[in-house]
C-alpha cells in the first residue's frame, strides 16, 4: 500500500484526496489576495484540460493488458505545460490534477516560463519487464498525439520513470513528427541525446540550495547551516538518494533513510552511496550494514535537524504531525504534508520548505534543458548548476520576503477584504507554503489579465 492511501483511523476524518488538498491550499492563499477576481480564481484553481486514455499492450508473456493513462494541463498562461509522468499502481485522475496544479505554482514561484502539467499511468512497473514498459510508454505517447509537444506540453521524469523512459517518449514523438527538432518535447533525457548535464541531480541539488538559503536567512531558529546537521530522508529514489549524497557532501550526517520496503537508522551516520549500492543490489536499503531497521512511521518521528520527505503524498498528516521532531522539513516530494499537518507544524514552530519551492530545481534544469535543445547547445554542468542556484536562491528569498510582507500587513489586508465585502475568519499569519502560493497565484493571475482573457 502506498503512503498516500495509508490512513490510520486517527486520520480518517482528514480528506487525503490530493486534488482537494491542492484546492484547499489555493483557497487558503487566495484569501490574502483580495483583489483576485472570483471568476479568475475559479479558472486558476481548475485544470484547463484532462486527457484520459485507455490502451492495450501485449506483454512479454503474451497476454493482452489494458492500461489507463492521464495527462493533465492545469494552466498554460505563463507558457507550455510542464510536468513529469508517474508510473504507479495508485495513480488517480485527482492525483494527476493535484500534481499538475502544483507544477503551475512551482513554475511561477521560480519564474520559469512554463505552465503546469502532469501525467501518470496506473501500473506497477516492478511487475513489468523493460519491454512491457517501453510498449506502455510508446502507446501512451502515441495516444496523447499532439496534446504534448515542445511548445504545448513537455513531460519529464517522476516516480518510477527515468532518463530511459524519456528517451522512449522522445523517440515515439519523433517517429510521429519527422523532419523537425523535437528534442524539446521532453526533458530529463539521457545526456548523450539532448539531456542536460546536472538534470538527474537537479531536484535534490535545488532542495539543498533552498535549504541552505533558508537557513542562512535565519528562518530556522538554532540552525544556520547544513554542515553538521542531522538529516533523515524518506524515499530513496532519484530525489531522495541524491539528496542524501549532496547533503552529506556539505557536511550533514544522514542518520536514517527509507524506501517502500522500510527504513534504516544509524545515529553515527549512514554512507549514502553505500546504502544506494545496497539498494541497487538487493532492491531495498533495508539490511544495509551497521544500521537498525525502522518503519517508515518511526523514521518520520526520528529526532533530527532536517527531514526530507522524498517519496509520495500525504506522509505527514494530522495523525503523525505531532510526532515530528525535525527543526525543518525540506519537501523534495510533491504534496508530502497535508493542510492539517501544516497547521500543526506551524504552531509548533517547525518550518516547512514547501514542495512548490524546495523541489523546483528539477523543473528549473528541465527548463535549461529545453533552452539548450531549442538552441542546439550543450552547457557545462557548472553553468547549469550555477544558473539553477541563482534561481533557487532568488525564489527562496522571494518566498521569505512574501511571508514577511503578508504577516506585516494582516490588518490592511483585512480592511481590504471588508471593503470588498469578502467575509470569512480573520486572516492569520501565513507559513512559507501559503506565502509561496500567494506569490505564485498573483504572478499567474497578473499574466492572465495582462494577456487579456481571450477573445
238 forms part of the interface with ligand NAD (CB under 6 A): yes
Q: By C-alpha distance, which of 86, 127, 87 is closest to 103?
A: 86
Q: What is the CA radius of gyration of the chain?
A: 21
Question: Would you say 198 and 381 are in contact if contact means Cβ atoms under 8 Å apart?
Answer: yes
Query: Can you tell me which of 158, 305, 319, 431 binds ligand NAD, judged by CB under 6 A?
Result: 158
Nearer to ligand NAD, 81 or 362 (CB): 362
Estimate to the nearest angstrom the gap between the alpha carbon of 13 and the chain centroid: 25
Nearer to ligand NAD, 308 or 430 (CB): 308
320 forms part of the interface with ligand NAD (CB under 6 A): no
Residues 105-144 as x/- pattern, contact with ligand NAD by CB under 6 A? ----------------------------------------
187 forms part of the interface with ligand NAD (CB under 6 A): no
The rounded distance, in Å, linking the Cα atoms of 47 and 51 is 11
Nearer to ligand NAD, 20 or 177 (CB): 20
CB of 391 to ligand NAD, least distance (A): 15
Residues 350-389 as x/- pattern, contact with ligand NAD by CB under 6 A? ---------x--x---------------------------
| DSSP code, position 285 | S
CB of 12 to ligand NAD, least distance (A): 19
Nearer to ligand NAD, 18 or 149 (CB): 18
Q: By C-alpha distance, which of 202, 205, 250 is closest to 230?
A: 250
169 forms part of the interface with ligand NAD (CB under 6 A): no
Q: How far is CA 316 from CA 59, 205, 247, 345, 408, in A?
A: 37, 23, 22, 10, 29
Query: What is the residue-wise DSSP string for 253-269?
Result: EEEEEEETTEEEE-TT-
272 forms part of the interface with ligand NAD (CB under 6 A): no
- Of 13-21, 22-30, 234-242, 420-428, which segment contacts ligand NAD by CB under 6 A? 234-242
Residues with Cβ < 8 Å from 88, sequence gap 6 or more? 2, 120, 122, 123, 124, 125, 159, 160, 312
To the nearest 10 degrees (0 to 180), the angle between helices 18-30 and 432-451 is: 80
259 forms part of the interface with ligand NAD (CB under 6 A): yes
CB of 367 to ligand NAD, least distance (A): 12
160 forms part of the interface with ligand NAD (CB under 6 A): yes
State the catalytic residue, choosing from 4, 118, 279, 327: 118
213 forms part of the interface with ligand NAD (CB under 6 A): no
At residue 191, φ and ψ (nearest 5 deg) are: -60, -35
Residue 38, Cβ neighbours under 10 Å: how many?
Answer: 9
Residue 251, Cβ neighbours under 10 Å: how many?
Answer: 11
The rounded distance, in Å, linking the Cα atoms of 95 and 22 is 10
CB of 340 to ligand NAD, least distance (A): 19
- Of 43-51, 213-221, 305-313, 382-390, which segment contacts ligand NAD by CB under 6 A? 305-313
CB of 239 to ligand NAD, least distance (A): 3
CB of 205 to ligand NAD, least distance (A): 11
CB of 157 to ligand NAD, least distance (A): 5
User: Would you say the C-alpha torsion 269, 275, 276, 279 has a positive or negative sign?
Assistant: negative
- Total site size for ligand NAD, rule CB under 6 A: 26
Residues 277-296 as x/- pattern, contact with ligand NAD by CB under 6 A? -------------------x
Q: How far is CA 94 from CA 89, 103, 160, 185, 258, in A?
A: 14, 14, 19, 24, 26
Q: How far is CA 455 from CA 39, 451, 452, in A?
A: 16, 10, 8
104 forms part of the interface with ligand NAD (CB under 6 A): no
Nearer to ligand NAD, 11 or 333 (CB): 333
In the residue annotation, 178 being an active-site residue is answered as: no
96 forms part of the interface with ligand NAD (CB under 6 A): no
At residue 340, φ and ψ (nearest 5 deg) are: -65, -40
Query: Can you tell me which of 28, 169, 254, 310 binds ligand NAD, judged by CB under 6 A?
Result: 310
Torsion angle, alpha carbons of 23, 361, 150, 117, to 10: -10
Would you call 42 exposed, middle or buried from its count of C-beta atoms within 10 A (0-12, 13-18, 19+)? exposed
Q: Which residues bind ligand NAD (CB under 6 A)?
A: 2-3, 157-160, 203, 234-240, 258-260, 296, 310-312, 332-334, 359, 362
Known catalytic residues? 118
Amino acid at each position: 500500500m502506498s503512503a498516500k492511501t495509508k490512513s490510520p483511523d486517527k486520520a480518517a476524518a482528514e480528506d487525503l484526496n490530493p486534488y482537494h488538498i491542492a484546492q484547499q491550499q489555493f483557497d487558503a492563499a487566495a484569501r490574502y489576495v483580495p483583489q483576485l477576481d472570483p471568476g479568475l480564481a475559479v479558472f486558476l484553481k481548475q485544470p484547463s484540460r484532462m486527457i484520459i486514455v485507455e490502451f492495450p499492450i501485449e506483454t512479454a508473456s503474451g497476454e493482452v493488458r489494458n492500461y489507463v493513462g492521464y495527462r493533465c494541463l492545469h494552466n498554460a498562461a505563463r507558457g507550455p505545460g510542464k510536468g513529469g509522468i508517474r508510473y504507479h499502481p495508485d495513480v488517480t485522475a485527482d492525483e494527476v490534477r493535484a500534481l499538475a496544479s502544483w507544477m503551475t505554482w512551482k513554475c511561477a514561484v521560480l519564474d520559469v516560463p512554463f505552465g503546469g502539467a502532469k501525467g501518470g499511468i496506473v501500473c506497477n512497473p516492478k511487475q513489468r519487464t523493460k519491454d512491457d514498459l517501453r510498449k506502455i510508454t510508446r502507446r501512451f505517447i502515441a495516444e496523447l498525439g499532439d496534446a504534448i509537444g515542445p511548445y504545448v506540453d513537455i513531460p519529464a521524469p517522476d516516480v518510477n520513470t527515468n532518463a530511459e523512459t524519456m528517451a522512449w517518449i522522445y523517440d515515439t514523438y519523433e517517429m510521429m513528427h519527422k523532419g523537425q527538432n523535437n528534442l524539446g518535447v521532453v526533458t530529463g533525457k539521457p545526456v548523450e541525446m539532448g539531456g542536460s548535464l546536472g538534470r538527474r541531480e537537479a531536484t535534490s541539488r535545488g532542495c539543498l540550495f533552498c535549504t541552505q538559503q533558508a537557513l542562512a536567512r535565519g528562518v530556522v531558529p538554532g540552525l544556520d547551516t547544513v554542515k553538521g546537521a542531522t538529516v533523515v530522508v524518506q524515499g530513496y529514489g532519484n530525489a531522495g538518494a541524491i539528496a542524501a549524497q549532496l547533503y552529506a557532501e556539505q557536511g550533514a550526517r544522514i542518520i536514517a533513510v527509507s524506501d517502500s520496503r522500510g527504513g534504516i537508522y544509524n545515529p553515527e551516520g549512514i554512507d549514502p552511496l553505500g546504502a544506494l549500492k545496497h539498494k541497487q543490489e538487493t532492491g531495498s536499503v533495508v539490511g544495509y550494514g551497521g544500521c537498525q531497521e525502522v518503519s517508515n512511521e518511526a523514521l518520520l518521528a526520528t529526532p533530527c535537524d532536517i527531514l526530507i520527505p522524498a517519496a509520495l503524498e500525504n506522509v505527514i498528516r494530522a495523525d503523525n504531525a505531532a510526532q515530528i521532531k525535525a527543526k525543518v522539513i525540506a519537501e523534495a516530494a510533491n504534496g508530502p504534508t497535508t493542510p492539517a499537518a501544516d497547521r500543526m507544524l506551524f504552531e509548533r514552530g517547525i518550518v516547512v520548505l514547501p514542495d512548490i519551492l524546495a523541489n523546483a530545481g528539477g523543473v528549473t534544469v528541465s527548463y535549461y534543458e529545453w533552452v539548450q535543445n531549442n538552441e542546439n547547445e550543450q552547457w557545462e554542468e557548472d553553468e547549469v548548476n550555477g544558473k539553477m542556484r541563482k534561481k533557487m536562491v532568488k525564489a527562496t528569498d522571494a518566498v521569505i520576503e512574501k511571508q514577511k510582507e503578508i504577516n506585516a500587513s494582516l490588518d490592511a489586508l483585512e480592511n481590504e477584504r471588508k471593503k470588498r465585502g469578502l467575509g470569512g475568519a480573520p486572516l492569520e499569519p501565513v507559513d512559507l507554503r501559503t506565502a509561496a502560493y500567494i506569490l505564485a497565484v498573483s504572478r499567474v493571475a497578473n499574466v492572465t489579465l495582462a494577456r487579456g482573457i481571450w477573445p
